[in-house]
Amino acid sequence: MFTGEAYTKDAALRLLASEGEDLLRLYQRADEVRKEKMGDEVFIRGIIEFSNICARNCHYCGIRAGNKGVSRYAMDADEILETAYSMVGTEKTTVVLQSGETPAFTDEELGEIIRRIKGETGLSVTLSVGSRPLETYRYWHDCGMDRYLLRFETSDPELFRRLRPGSTLEERLRCLYDLKAAGVQTGSGFMIGLPGETLQVLADNILLCRTLDLDMIGIGPFIPHPDTPLGDEKNAYDDNREMFFKAIAVLRIFNPDAHIPATTAFDAVFPDEGRNRVLKVGGNIFMPNNTPLKYRKDYLLYPGKPCITESAEVCTQCAVMRIQAMGRKIGTGPGHSIKKRT
Ligand code: SAH
Ligand code: SF4
């Protein structure tokens, strides 16, 4: 999409179909937009996968409640605090707390953890713990939560209903509007190539991100997990995996001033280079794994997840080297949304 064109579904579809010279131009344009709006800084956020206990049964996810082969864990508050403390003074200025939709913590317990991390370490705090009521989001925001990640997963209501039993796309979108209403910097996104996804749906996904006017947008390839109902399925773009990067580039062009992370699933599909390529076609965030090593093998949303045996320090240094080797800078400061909200 180039100067003067409208952000329409047709434009998105046309860009997703780019090949040869056009594809190179698409990538170049996405990189220019990233540079123009977000600059050369890449922010590093440390993710702590603090519990794999989940009450839901999403068909795609390796830690779904129905997967009895998973050894379940929940870190306690002290261990989470200690892990967050280990980021102080490093390149990581945000801690991302992610878990299943777990009943392992009450809202108050999580609120206290947010309050302590925020008050004692000064790190920015992002949560990613699933669909919750508005009051909970408000309460956590009062405790100091800066941001929240909640993917809508797919913009196709029928596909959503099938793959996330017991919930609807409408409810998921309601949560996103609630987060915004609560004054939380809001991140969402989707999986690329869910079985049944068409290019029309992919274009709609990108458009929905734009309509939602998000602060952060995380997208990554769907990777079938053998112990799930989608275990025998393939990614919809299995024969055309370039589509994963095209999706990032079009997403950047349609959402010039959103933070776009190079998500871990890209490295699972393209070992050691997937995330670098994302940073070259629109991405500006890197999220190394900061979960204590002993838990990592039990937080497998999908197979082939990298960084299962490397320590947090090694993962961070690896991120720093990858970013610097690309001629980009490490982000300093909190790395908040650049969107002005009133
Ligand atoms: N329980 C929370 C957060 C943890 S799941 C939630 O569901 O929002 C984080 C993300 O992992 C999900 O939003 C989904 O997009 C992604 N994910 C789950 N299973 C996956 C798979 N098989 N392949 C790729 N991404 C997957
Ligand atoms: Fe639970 Fe999230 Fe996995 Fe769904 S995607 S089963 S809510 S951890």
164 touches ligand 1 (CB under 6 Å) = no
Q: Is the CB of 218 under 6 A from ligand 1?
A: no
**Strand, coil or helix: what is 273?**
coil
H helix runs in the chain, sequence order? 9-16, 20-38, 77-85, 107-121, 134-143, 157-163, 169-181, 199-212, 242-254, 264-269, 274-280, 293-296, 312-325
Would 42 be classed as within a structural domain?
yes
The rounded Å distance from CA 120 to ligand 2 centre is 30
Confirm or reject: Cβ of 225 under 6 Å from ligand 1.
yes
> What domain range includes position 198?
9-330
Report, as ranges of residue numbers, the positions in the chain whose pLDDT lies below 50. Answer: none
Q: What is the pLDDT of residue 19?
A: 97
Read off the amino acid at residue 273.
Answer: E
From residue 3, how far is each of 33, 208, 252, 285 by CA, in Å? 11, 21, 14, 25
Domain with residue 137: its CATH number is 3.20.20.70
Alpha-carbon separation of residue 168 from 66, 162, 194 (angstroms):
19, 9, 16
Task: Please report the pLDDT score of residue 1 as a whole number.
Answer: 55
Minimum-distance ligand 2 atom for the alpha carbon of 64? 6
Ligand 2 centre to CA of 24 (Å) is: 36
Choice from 47, 97, 188, 191 to test ligand 1 binding pocket (greatest atom count within 8 A of CB): 191
Closest by alpha carbon to 118, among 106, 127, 128, 129? 127
Residue 243 lies in a domain: yes
pLDDT the model gives residue 308 = 87
Instruction: Let me know if residue 336 belongs to a domain.
Output: no
User: Does any ligand 2 atom lie closer than 6 A to the CB of residue 61?
Assistant: yes
- Give residue 237's pLDDT: 98
The residue whose C-alpha atom lies closest to atom 24 belonging to ligand 1 is 222
Interhelix angle for 20-38 vs 242-254, to 10°?
A: 40
* Alpha helix positions (H), 164-258: 169-181, 199-212, 242-254
> Measured from the CB, is residue 62 less than 6 Å from ligand 2?
no
Ligand lying nearest the CA atom of residue 53: 2
Q: Quick check: CB of 61 below 6 Å from ligand 1?
A: yes
Which of ligand 1's atoms lies nearest the C-alpha of 190? 15
Residue 298, Cβ neighbours under 10 Å: how many?
17
Whether residue 133 lies inside any domain: the answer is: yes
From the CB of residue 211, how many other CB atoms can be counted at a distance below 10 Å? 12
User: Which residues are paired to 148 by β-bridges?
Assistant: 127, 186
In a domain, 206, yes or no: yes
The pTM is what?
A: 0.97
CB-CB neighbours of 300 under 10 Å: 18
Query: Does 275 sit in the ligand 2 pocket, CB within 6 Å?
Result: no
Beta carbon of 104 within 6 Å of any ligand 2 atom = no
In a domain, 67, yes or no: yes
Report if residue 4 sits inside a domain: no
Residue to mutate, 51, 63, 152, ligand 2, most ligand atoms under 8 Å from C-beta: 63
Cα of 3 vs centre of ligand 1, distance in Å, is 35
In total, how many domains does the chain have?
1
Distance 221 CA to ligand 2 centre (A): 16
Q: Is there a domain that residue 81 lies in?
A: yes
